[in-house]
Structure 1
């Protein structure tokens, strides 16, 4: 079952803009997260001495703990960036698209 409104939406320039912007942001954020994970894995592989070094002499915490927490926090931050853009710019483009198509 194919509705003619789908063809109007897919052909609309705002839809093309929305898809292009959303895909670009998703690729950038995914690449950034992949680079952060890769950097962490490379640290584990090639600099385990640094990750295992204590933050201060006699301190129980090593540099690996804040590095791992930073990696987890970065995932939340990047997700927040996407959600902010999705709830702002992408929702605005979607509303404008629907208004144009349903007129």
Structure 2
């Protein structure tokens, strides 16, 4: 958690700073994806190797959102990015653990 906490704090600070001006609110999904991706890369030593690629994917998609997303942010920009990323992460974890459960 200590390696991931800085990205959570940075995301919170960016949210507060960018949300103060309505014109910057559409940038939040991209900024969140970049910061979260950096956090995933930071904790990669404690997770399966392929999860690092998911982190890089978050950074790239977040960068694309920041660069090319229109002013009117589509609804998928948060749900699609994070839903897709979490789904891929879950599939990687299931594959690498053989579907075993602690329960």
User: For the superposition of Structure 1 and Structure 2, which TM-score range results when normalised by the shorter chain?
Assistant: 0.3 to 0.5
Specify which structure has the higher proportion of helix.
1
Q: Which has the higher contact order (CA 8 A, sep 6+)?
A: 1
TM-score (norm 2): 0.40
TM-score (norm 1): 0.40
Structure number with larger C-alpha Rg: 1
